[in-house]
Structure 1
Amino acid sequence: MFIEPWIVDETMHEFFVPDYIEQMAEDVLRHYDLSVQSRQVVTTKPDKGGAIWKLETNKGPKSLKLLHRRPTRSLFSLGAQRYLVDVQKANVPPIVQTKEGTDYVEAGGKLWFVAEWIEPLFPVTKDLEGAKQLCYALGEFHRLSKGYVPPKGAEIASRLYKWPKTYEKTINKMDWFRQLAKAYKEMPASAMLLEVVDRFQAQARESFTRLQQSPYDQLVELGHSEWGLVHQDYGWSNGQMGANGMWIIDLDGVAYDLPIRDLRKLISGTMADLYRWDAQWVREMIRAYHEANPIDASLYDILMIDLSLPNEFYKNLKEVVYEPELFLTEQTMQLIEIIVATDETKWPVLAEIENDWKENRNR
């Protein structure tokens, strides 16, 4: 039986997993030399068909993961986890091998694996000090991931060469936003969306032009192992403090890319949480990352360009394409207002931060 995504409604427990998958989990665990005293679901991805359980065993706490991606793609991330632990001694959870000496079990058309459950782990404080700790740990992770070569049979997960396409997609989707706002003009958020979409599309076009004129092509020519891996979903929950420093967990989505894509996401997401851009925060976050994984002038240029893209607007509005009549609500109108207000604080900060770097270069 193949594992399929499942639907969760309000009558079900938050971490509901279908019985057949729980049965598969039991079968998978028979491949391990572990006596499992308890198994508890701690997170699920019902829309994709993934889950994580915490296990209490005779050999201490472990995690059991059902990876929702294609097996060949999951093989890439498992190989990365093995490389980071065994070769680079990174603070990422070690994989527990099966009785047969493999890193995973294939069942239901997906890969399952067991890893050490690291405890105690706790999130860093949601302040500038915490953000700096996160950025330093991220830089360290990027530096240690260089040189990774995936195992035979693994799909190459890479976003390294895709930046121009991503920028173009952002520009083109704005046309869709505009058309949908016109088609559903009676909806509460439509007028507001029409009012601001030109501004954000112009920003995206400007960012794309800058990318085309940047050192991007020369940088990506250096290839995969030179740049190493990005986490793709890094933040306060996936970078946590443990007994011997910061640990990075949930590596299922790692891919080759320019490392500062992770840093950009962390900065723009943090500024969105603050509801304003703050030059001191951005400066200190970049500095902390740079200490662990030095950013040269070319890469810094790319970081500035990626920060200039209307990332938060695109990320929050792209769902309009799927169900416009459910999306263009009063709530979305308020969200657009917040994004616009936050965006207005971004440009003076970016100008200041770009200027910082020029001054450092000229010293």
Structure 2
Amino acid sequence: MEQHHEVEKDHLQLVLDFYPLEVSDVWLVSSRSGRTTWEVDTTEGKKILKQANMKPERMLFLAGAHQHLYNQGLAITPIHETKNGGICIGAGPVSYVLFDKVEGNEVIYYNKEQMLKAMKFAGSFYQASKGYVPSEESKTRGRLGKWHKLYRWKLQELEGNKTIAQSYPEDAFSQLFLAHVDEMITRAQLALIALENPSYTNISREVSNLKGFCQQDFTLARFTEMEEELFMKELHSVTYDLPTRDIRIILNKMMKKFSVWDDNLVFDLLRAYQTTNPLSEEYYEILSIDIQFPHLFCAIAHKYFLAQKRSWSDEKYIWALQNIIALEESKGEFLKQYPSIYKEVISTNREGN
């Protein structure tokens, strides 16, 4: 074990030697999901070195997006350049990026004030992302105009998981899953049909010209709060897409914490977003389609039937599924109220201006 530790330290030193920093100490912070993070003590303060199982061309796209946001004035930690002016380092199938460590108060889902700040930040994030043109060496990622393909893939997997569940009649998770899967398949099919609305194509074309990007996994864990303002600690991944995708992801995460779609809370959250990145009715109509699709139900089934969470007990899987079912059941009533909610959000924002 000691020999392995020394080899790792030598390897890290080779990476850190690319940076114009004097390093005094390095220690492992976390290692999971193909990403390893170290904290680095330097004469210029604490830094975070992140290694990802990602080709250099992809990391260059991500690091360039990070730098773009910082240059646009977004409250995000600065990324460090190498001695040769590079913003990341590639080493075969893995890549490295170095940025400042920032510390503040924890940002949580049960703090409404922080949740509202996160929605405002999400709007500012998309505004700052506009105009990002990556270097020619980058391998870009985009899902503009590709939602049909994504929905079909998730729908097919859901139908496949139904078949798998039927082969395990004594399994408690499968029994609960089967009691609700047909309704979820119907919702997924209706959402896929709704995407045929010309507004999706029109908005996708409009956003393509803006060159703005989303996070893909907008979560409060990437924030810290300093002097009552949110600050982004890191950027996990990005893709060119509609701003509504980040809204759907963060709303799903927030509503999941309460096991219910709360009309009043969603109104306040969307109103907060609208103050920093005002959207038209067409965008909110597309958001409605994305909310209708049972993303969370698909995700928990995907995790269970592929045994992705090996540390999870059967009880934890069942609890998670029960929570998502409760959320999905409340979503139907929420969507009936949704048009009046977003129209009032847009109207309130106009009056505020």
Scaled by the length of structure 2, what TM-score is found?
Answer: 0.89
Query: Cα offset for 1:345?
Result: 1.5
Report the counterpart of residue 209 of structure 1 in structure 2.
193
The 3 A distance-change label for structure 1 pair 125 and 209 is closer
2:150 is aligned to 166
Residue 95 of structure 1, CA deviation: 1.6
Q: Say whether 1:352 aligns with 2:337.
A: yes
SS in 1 for 2:87: coil
CA distance in 2, matches of 1:63, 1:359: 43
Q: Is the 8 A contact 1:62 1:116 kept in 2?
A: yes
Distance 1:295 1:133, change over 3 A: same
Letter in 2 for 1:193: F
Which 10-residue stretch deviates more, 145-154 or 170-179?
A: 170-179
Work out whether residues 267 and 342 of structure 2, in 8 Å CA contact, stay in contact via their aligned partners in 1.
no
Matched length: 344
Contact preservation (8 Å) 2:187, 2:292: yes
Deviations 1:229-250 (A, max 9, x none): 1112222211322248322232
Give the corresponding residue for 1:342: 327
Provide the residue aligned with 1:295 in structure 2. 279
> For residues 24 and 197 of structure 1, do their structure 2 counterparts lie closer, same or farther at Cα, with a shift above 3 Å needed?
same
For 2:50, what is the secondary structure of its paired residue?
A: strand
The structure-2 alpha-carbon separation of the partners of 1:224 and 1:242, relative to structure 1 and needing over 3 Å to count, comes to farther
Q: Secondary structure at the match of 1:237?
A: helix
1:199 has 2:183 as partner: yes
Asked if 1:242 corresponds to 2:229, the answer is: no
In the TM superposition, residue 164 of structure 1 has moved relative to its aligned partner by 0.8
- Alignment partner of 1:41 out of 4, 28, 38: 28
**What secondary structure does 2:323 align onto?**
helix
- 2:55 corresponds, among 70, 76, 101, to 70
For 2:14, give the aligned amino acid: D
Structure 1 residues 118 and 333: alpha-carbon distance in aligned structure 2, compared to 1, 3 A threshold: closer
> Hey, what does 2:40 align to over in structure 1?
55
Secondary structure of the equivalent of 1:93? coil
Map residues 296-311 of structure 1 onto 2, 5 A cutoff: 296-311=280-295
Contact 1:92 1:249 in 2 (8 A): yes
CA contact (8 A) 1:214 1:301 kept: no
Partner residue, 1:82 = 67
Deviation at 1:37, TM superposition (A): 1.9
Determine the structure 2 residue equivalent to 1:115.
99
- Counterpart in 1 of 2:113? 129
Identify which of 102, 106, 113 aligns with 2:90: 106
Change over 3 Å in CA distance of 1:359–1:56 after alignment to 2: closer
Check conservation: 1:54, 1:63, Cα contact below 8 A: yes
Distance (Å, rounded) in 2 between the aligned partners of 1:337 and 1:109: 39
* Match among 19, 30, 44 for residue 32 of structure 1: 19
Deviations 1:117-166 (A, max 9, x none): 22335425622221111000111010010000011210111121221111
SS in 2 for 1:95: coil
Q: Which amino acid in structure 2 is aligned with residue 25 of structure 1?
A: L
Report the more deviating stretch, 234-243 or 256-265: 234-243
Instruction: In structure 1, give the amino acid aligned to 2:262.
Output: D
AA aligned to 1:146 is K
Equivalent residues of 2:165, 2:178 under 8 A apart: yes
Taking the aligned partners of 2:43 and 2:58, their CA distance within structure 1 comes to: 31
The structure-2 alpha-carbon separation of the partners of 1:203 and 1:220, relative to structure 1 and needing over 3 Å to count, comes to same
Once the two structures are overlaid, the 10-residue window that deviates more, 147-156 or 238-247, is: 238-247
Structure 2, unpaired ranges of 5+: 349-353
The amino acid that maps onto 2:21 is: L
Distance, in Å, in 2 between the alignment partners of 1:123 and 1:335 is 22
The CA deviation string for residues 43-83 of structure 1, in whole angstroms up to 9 with x for no partner, is: 222x42x2111112111111111122221111101111121
CA distance in 1, matches of 2:221, 2:318: 28
Unaligned ranges ≥5, structure 1: 1-11
Distance (Å, rounded) in 2 between the aligned partners of 1:256 and 1:210: 22
Change (3 A) 1:124 1:187: closer
Question: Which stretch of structure 1 is more off in the superposition, 116-125 or 287-296?
Answer: 116-125
Q: Does 1:313 pair with 2:297?
A: yes
Task: Name the stretch that deviates more: 242-251 or 133-142.
Answer: 242-251
Alpha-carbon distance in structure 1 between the residues aligned to 2:5 and 2:298: 34
Structure 2 Cα separation of the partners of residues 341 and 57 of structure 1: 49
Q: What displacement does 1:193 show?
A: 1.8
User: Within the alignment, does 1:264 sit opposite 2:248 as a pair?
Assistant: yes
Worse overlay, 150-159 or 94-103: 94-103
Deviation string, structure 1 residues 325-355 (Cα, Å, up to 9, x no partner): x899454344333322222222222222222
- 1:128 & 1:153 partners in 2: Cα distance? 42
Cα distance change of structure 1 residues 359 and 271 upon mapping to structure 2, 3 Å threshold: closer
What's 1:187 paired with? Answer: 171
Q: For 1:89, what is the secondary structure of its paired residue?
A: coil
Q: Which moved more, 1:198-207 or 1:222-231?
A: 222-231
Structure 1 residues 33 and 335: CA distance shift in structure 2, 3 A: closer
- Taking the aligned partners of 2:203 and 2:8, their CA distance within structure 1 comes to 44
Is 1:232–1:253's contact at 8 Å kept on the other side of the alignment?
A: yes
2:76 to 87, 92, 97: 92
- Cα 1:206–1:109, aligned 2, differ >3 Å: closer, same or farther? closer
Distance 1:223 1:358 in 2: 21
Larger proportion of helix: 2
